[in-house]
Structure 1
Amino acid sequence: MKLPGLLLVLLLSLALPACDSPDHAEALAPGWTLFVAPHLERWHEAEMAHSGGFTRETDEFVLKAGSPMTGIVYRHWKADDLPVIDYAISYEARRVQGTDFFGTVTFPVGSVDRCVSFVLGGWGGSQVGISSIDGYDASENPTGSRQTLENDHWYHVRIEVREKSLRVWLDGRPIINTNIAGRQLSMRAGEIDRCMPFGFASFRTEARLRNLRVEKLPVGSRQ
């Protein structure tokens, strides 16, 4: 018996995966969840001056408001053989109170000694971007943009790190796609470098973080 054409098309569409969805790629790729055991105890205070401190609540981290910054750092990146190229980071961040950055993540690009930060909500609460590229921070280089970022909303961030590119999605929307071939990548001057090689920071805000995942991506694709 032949299936009606419409039913056959429906069955085929259910069997095929989405081709260009970051969420679908994340679900299939092997990876590490760093806010749970055995990685949970490897997070430490980034020891910034006048830090507000941090606490762990089940699978969430709470960064209390600092004067100005609070940070946490995962120093075991190299020892745990986590990737430095062809990998993705995904996490959720929420600004509980305050008006500045709340889920800024520092991560390696090619080496644990070569790091940048994705700024989430800096410069008064709405600036996003990569700091720093060719000496210019997120408010000065082409990766920067202004986004509406509200308190008490969980924002989903996904970052893909490639040899020649950095790509960022915010709540599933692409907001950064920049070529880094031949570019100078560095940390912005200041205590943010205490989050190297991998860590999070907030600026005069209380922030919550959850669902952190690092995944290895297929080598050479989406360069």
Structure 2
Amino acid sequence: MKRMSWCFPFRAGKARFFLPTLGLGLSLVLICTSGGCKSGKSAACPCKSGQAAAAGCGTCPTPAVAGATNAPAPAEEEVEEGELIFDGQSLKGWKITPFAGHGEVEVKDGKIILHEGIMTGVNYTNPIPRMNYEVTWEGCRVAGTDFFASLTFPVGETHCTLITGGWGGGVVGISSIDSMDASENETTQFIAFENGRWYRFRVRVTPDKIEAWVDNKKVANVNTKGKKIDVRPGEIEESRPFGFAAWSTTGAIKNVRIRKLD
């Protein structure tokens, strides 16, 4: 049977099998029925995108991996962890980004939840490195169809943003390189992010390079020498020097860490 992501859409039905026994003329009738997430005129499936609770960040996991939507993706390589800069209990060391029309920001169950608005985000308020460092975090798109855990970060005296699922939900890349944003430069990639699933993100900044990973897949490897690096002009500038943002989407963030490189 083909396995689906968050629910198993079987149609209710019946199948009868008759197995005559030797010489007795008896029949065995097996009646199989199934329900659950139906289509057509049946009740609405609770597994639809956008209905996952922010705290749980995923509903209807498959029985074989119950609860897996709250688990990080399997590690493919060992990554050294940095200093934890979000305590999972409060916004201590953070502030709500003053985007016009932003949604609510709350801390719940160890996550920062950026509720849907025009754009919603948080800025880190403590000192951070500007060069030779690595940031790791986990992000989940709870509801919506656009970027949900994008990080704006310093690159020496300037800044840029790792876009996570922008331009309708799938674009990943660095904004901006030589005035070209993540949808049109050398880092442009597409990832079919699933609502309710946690993803690992990692960014590394060194003097001549910006690198980025999604679930250990490298998605950016930019030689910055001779290139203009800056944020995309507009409201995302409010995320400088270091901040997360979600666009018209509810996103959740946890396990944010920074590590200085030797």
Partner in structure 1 of residue 93 of structure 2: 42
* Larger RCO, structures 1/2 (Cα 8 Å, 6+ apart): 1
Give the Å deviation of 1:75: 2.9
Task: Tell me, in whole angstroms, the C-alpha distance in 2 between the residues paired with 1:85 and 1:22.
Answer: 26
1:109-148 equivalent positions in 2, closer than 5 A: 109-111=155-157, 114-148=158-192
Structure in which a larger fraction of residues adopt helix: 1
Partner in structure 1 of residue 114 of structure 2: 63
SS of 1:24's partner is coil
Task: Tell me, in whole angstroms, the C-alpha distance in 1 between the residues paired with 2:88 and 2:218.
Answer: 31
Task: Tell me, in whole angstroms, the C-alpha distance in 1 between the residues paired with 2:89 and 2:141.
Answer: 27
Partner in structure 2 of residue 216 of structure 1: 260
Q: How many correspondences in the alignment? A: 188
| Pair 1:180 & 2:230 matched | no
Give the counterpart letter for 1:135 in structure 2. S
Alignment gaps of 5+ in structure 1: 1-20, 219-223
Alignment gaps of 5+ in structure 2: 1-74
SS of 1:99's partner is coil
CA deviations over 1:197-216 (Å, ceiling 9, x no partner): 00000011000000100001
Partner in structure 2 of residue 102 of structure 1: 148
SS of 1:26's partner is coil
* Amino-acid identity (%): 38
**4+ aligned runs moved over 6 Å, structure 1:** none
Give the counterpart letter for 1:106 in structure 2. T
Question: TM-score, with normalisation over the residues of structure 1?
Answer: 0.80
Task: Tell me, in whole angstroms, the C-alpha distance in 2 between the residues paired with 1:25 and 1:123.
Answer: 29
Give the Å deviation of 1:144: 1.0
Task: Tell me, in whole angstroms, the C-alpha distance in 1 between the residues paired with 2:164 and 2:96.
Answer: 20
SS of 1:194's partner is helix
Structure of larger gyration radius: 2
Partner in structure 2 of residue 6 of structure 1: none
Question: TM-score, with normalisation over the residues of structure 2?
Answer: 0.68
Structure in which a larger fraction of residues adopt strand: 1
Give the Å deviation of 1:160: 0.7
Give the counterpart letter for 2:80 in structure 1. E
Say what the alpha-carbon RMSD is for the aligned residues. 1.8
> Contact 1:75 / 1:196 at 8 angstroms: preserved in 2?
no
Give the counterpart letter for 1:56 in structure 2. V
CA deviations over 1:49-73 (Å, ceiling 9, x no partner): 110020012431000001x211111
